[in-house]
């Protein structure tokens, strides 16, 4: 069905840019192996999944923010106190958003079968990837709960086009595109599309 939809797009449009998020990112890479199109944008592409470093890096970031918040509190530095309070709230808000997303999307009665299908799709896609010729933009959140940075790096290194970018968003997680603090990400995508 993916092939049918893409062929239909090719009949109607001269220039096609492909963007994919998570599993959609892996599918976008798959399309790049079979069709010629303009630009490829990958948001936390799940060509590799299960980020075991996530918990440690998230706790480290939270404790760092908490430390600096307490330090600002003791020094009565209202500006720094407000800054780190906002960072702490963003961490908690992002975790709440991420957990809600996971609960709605994955913890349903068909989870085991869905995850098995997901793994099979990723395996097939990864076997087909040789190189990426398209101009490439990859976005990855430093606190991505699902996709490790190695997934983004591997795809970046497979790209033979000179116009390629890998941007790590310091305080974002796998919820990149649905995060309410995604203004920089959206601006970066628009800027990449315009170049």
For the chain, list the domains and their CATH numbers.
16-53+121-194 (3.40.50.1820)
pTM for the full predicted model:
0.74
Angstrom distance (rounded) from CA 116 to CA 112 = 6
Percent of the chain with pLDDT over 70: 87
User: Between 68 and 115, where is the model more confident?
Assistant: 68
Predicted pLDDT at 121: 84
CA 35 to chain centre: 23
| Residue 71: pLDDT over 80 | yes
């Amino acid at each position: 069905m993916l092939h049918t939809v893409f062929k239909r797009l090719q009949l109607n449009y001269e220039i096609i840019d492909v963007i994919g998020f998570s599993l959609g990112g892996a599918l976008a890479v798959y399309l790049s192996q079979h069709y010629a199109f303009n630009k490829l944008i990958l948001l936390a592409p799940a060509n590799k999944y299960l980020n075991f470093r996530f918990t440690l890096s998230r706790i480290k970031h939270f404790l760092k923010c908490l430390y600096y918040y307490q330090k600002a509190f003791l020094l009565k530095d209202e500006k720094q106190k407000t800054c780190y309070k906002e960072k702490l709230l963003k961490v908690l808000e992002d975790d709440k958003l991420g957990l809600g997303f996971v609960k709605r999307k994955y913890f349903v009665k068909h989870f085991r079968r869905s995850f098995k299908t997901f793994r099979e799709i990723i395996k097939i896609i990864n076997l087909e990837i040789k190189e990426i010729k398209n101009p490439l933009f990859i976005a990855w959140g430093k606190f991505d709960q699902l996709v490790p940075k190695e997934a983004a790096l591997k795809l970046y290194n497979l790209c033979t086009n000179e116009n390629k970018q890998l941007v790590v968003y310091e305080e974002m997680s796998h919820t990149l595109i649905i995060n309410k603090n995604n203004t920089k990400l959206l601006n970066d995508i628009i800027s990449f599309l315009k170049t």
